[in-house]
Structure 1
Amino acid sequence: MDTKWVRTITTIVAASIGFGGGVLGQYFATERAISIERLKNINSLRSKAYIDFFAAQAKLQQARQDGYSSYRDLIKGQSEQQGHIEDGQLAARLEKTLWEYEIETKEARMKLAAFAPTELVEELADYYRKYYPSRPCDPSWEDDVRAYLAMRQELLADIEPKNIKKEKMYSLMWGCQPTASKNEDASKSEEHMTSQ
């Protein structure tokens, strides 16, 4: 009877372990499949954003060959010197190319801010801060930046563990620098006065 009892318990334990292993295996396989699918979707979105960004940059390179590096320069040149571009077809082509470059680059930068790798976002933000004139950001854009950071946290959970500073997002998305709030300015003046 003892042997029969031991065999029965051994069979029940083995069956429980097998069943538990199967359930856990299925759970982890499902989790892994979901994770892999999410990563595929993010990589697909990133690839599309890179292609859009490079296509816009190609338009800028084309315009630079004709001597213009921005839509603003073209318009400014046309208004300062009427007839600066003697060929009307060239002027129309340049205007269209540079306008498309401006719009497409802005769209691509917004997409990259949402789901590009953290390191790329930081590098692009530094690039735009270094090579393009910066202006103060509209204070209302802070809500947009918070929304984008929340979006990144949702989309890139377990993919990009490092957070991005708000200032980098402002630089990448709009090429601007956030202005200090009045409270920050007041606390800085207090610190300056107490240090004297």
Structure 2
Amino acid sequence: MKNCLYVFVFVLILNMMGCSTSRIVLLDSGKSTNAIIVKTDQGELTLNEPNTFTELASARAIPTKPKTISPEMMEEEYGALINSTPKPPIKFLLYFETDKTILTTQSKQLLTEIKAAVKERIPCEVNVIGHSDRMGSKEYNVDLSLQRARFINAWLVEQKLGIANIIVESYGEEAPLIPTADGIPEPKNRRVEILIR
């Protein structure tokens, strides 16, 4: 699973010889729909082209016309800052065999990727949320989905990754990916969601 979100905008306060200037930069996210509106009492400006910026002499100043910054200049001036920003949250879905806490073969293959995602975000918080399909009673499914979440929690702890906090939850059959009637087996609902942030 690839990262879908990254820091698109950052503000750099430059202090030079007693003056302070704010620079607002729209980073290249790889998507074409990103934009930022810079608004002050004196005017408004939209940045909607990647690697463009505007500057403000004060909170009440008119934003300057957009200027382009080359990727090389971006790296030289802001590379260390950009690289030091936290990685964006990432979500994984792990699926389970019917009525069990045994991962499907495909889901087992994601475990290495999950470990790498955690390591990239240390220190991080991880939410582990168990789910079930609608086979069995509601009470049974809450318990089963909790067992699945605890299974993944135990695996994460066993990896000794240095996670700051793990939150374990169980939704049972209440939040299906694929809505079904009672008694209908649905493999995509037998899952644990892992959110790493």
More strand by share: 2
Same fold by TM-score greater than 0.5: no
What is the TM-score normalised by the length of structure 1?
0.25
Structure having the higher Rg: 1
What is the TM-score normalised by the length of structure 2?
0.25
